Amino acid sequence: MSEWLESAIARGQENQDWLAPKRAQALDILANTQWPTRKTEAWRYTPLKAVERSSAKALDRVSGLTPVAIPNVSAIELVFVNGQFDALQSTKTLPTGLTVQLGQDLSSQQQAEALRSFSNVKPERHLFGLVNDVLASDVLLVTVAESIKIAEPLRISSLLSAGAESHTRVLVRLEKGAQLAVIEDVQSQGDSLSTAFVEYDVAADASLEHYRFALQTGSNLTIGGSHFQLSDKSKMHSTIVGFGSELSRLDTDIIHAGEFADAKLNAMYLLDGKELFDLHATVEHAMPNGTTEENVRGIVADRARAVFNGRIHIHRDAQKTLAELNNRNLLMSNKAEINTKPELEIYADDVRCAHGATIAEIDKQALYYLETRGISKSKAQVMLNFGFINELIDLMPNEALAEWVRPIIRERFAQMEVK
């Protein structure tokens, strides 16, 4: 076991609050968990040396850290600063049917009910999910009442100052027939380490629109997860946009726990320099008549490394399942690296499933042609590559968010050179 993990366990043992029963369960598992190495399948291409040598530490909330504004998007703001919920920057007046509460503010009976839901959607196999169970100082509980449709998106922002360590946890519950859009984003100043996990429990006939923007770069270490449980006839549409950093890892789980559930996941990542981005997505079809459509696209330049593992598991009782997984990648350098592993594990016999992965290089002849027509190399790259990603941006349900992220991605393209 690494010194970093031993330290995390020791710190977790010191906390004795309403989360103690769940924390004890996570500590028991961690005590018997081996620190990942290159021989650990889930971490084969993502070394954790940067975590082991990290000097990030818990810091107090500091003034001056505010979420980046998103033009033309009016959102219900939930803000964490250095791992602590910031009530001053968070929206105080909530729409009817939406409740937001810290676990420490609940009655003992409410805390007991919350404990039954906490860490039930996120699978126990996630090492840093267990670390988050142990080190999270509290849980933010978000509930949308039955049949309530929340018009404005809910934005969960985690802000970190330089050198800060943060472990945030949110549990979102949509009751029957409810509708909600959620934006998750982490903003780091540098040399920070964070785990940010959100669990979504989507009841029957409910609908969730989800976004996760992992746009931190540089020396930041960010490990997190978005985990979804779908009930009968529930729907979710998730969009993930990721840049690389010294270590950026995201685990996503979609669990079809009800019939006729529908899930869509679109993910895109753009990496440059020596950055690393690792996306592990698992879909569990446990009930019949479910549908999943998963599209993942990546562009990797310079010496950057991308990792994608996409697994779709069709259980024996999940008849009439329709599931598709497509991963397409573009290499802009002969020193860039992409490790992709799409998986289908099927135990039902009446299903329609497909998966595929492609890795290609940028068309250098087309690039040369545009340059000979007086177009700069950076602009030519944007012209050739933007359509590859823009197709998924066009599928974002929130047009204002799509218009916000497009210029950010264009600027990112302009910095990535073909080598």
Average pLDDT over residues 7-33: 92
* Tens of pLDDT, residues 182-199: 999 999 988 999 999 999
Average pLDDT over residues 42-67: 90
Average pLDDT of the chain? 93
Please indicate whether residue 5 or residue 366 has the higher confidence score (pLDDT): 5
* Tens of pLDDT, residues 251-307: 999 999 999 999 999 999 999 999 999 999 999 999 999 999 999 999 999 999 999
User: Is residue 209 within 8 Å of 181, Cβ to Cβ?
Assistant: yes
User: Is residue 260 within 8 Å of 234, Cβ to Cβ?
Assistant: no
Residues 6+ away with beta carbon under 8 Å from 288:
259, 317, 318, 319, 320, 321
* Tens of pLDDT, residues 388-410: 888 999 999 999 999 999 999 98
What is the rounded CA–CA span in Å between residue 68 and residue 354? Answer: 39
Average pLDDT over residues 174-189: 96
Please identify which residue in the block is written with the tokens 């945030």. 168
pLDDT of residue 1: 67
pLDDT of residue 50: 95
pLDDT of residue 137: 92
* Tens of pLDDT, residues 276-286: 999 999 999 99
Q: What is the DSSP string of 240-287?
A: EEEE-BSEEEEEEEEEE-STT-EEEEEEEEEE-TT-EEEEEEEEEE-S
Q: Does 354 score more than 80 pLDDT?
A: yes
Q: Which pLDDT band holds residue 382 (cuts at 50, 70, 90)?
A: low
**Partners of residue 164 on adjacent β-strands:** 57
What is the rounded CA–CA span in Å between residue 82 and residue 188? Answer: 9
pLDDT of residue 386: 73
Sign (positive/negative) of CA torsion 187, 190, 192, 195? positive
Average pLDDT over residues 304-332: 95
**% of the chain residues with pLDDT over 90:** 82
Residues 6+ away with beta carbon under 8 Å from 127:
30, 33, 36
* Tens of pLDDT, residues 107-158: 999 999 999 999 999 999 999 999 999 999 999 999 999 999 999 999 999 9
Identify the helix (H) or strand (E) that includes residue 202: strand 193-202
pLDDT of residue 16: 84
Q: Does 37 score more than 90 pLDDT?
A: yes
**% of the chain residues with pLDDT over 70:** 97
Residues 6+ away with beta carbon under 8 Å from 299:
269, 270, 271, 329, 330, 332, 385, 388, 389, 413, 416
* Tens of pLDDT, residues 87-113: 999 999 999 999 999 999 999 999 999
pLDDT of residue 364: 74
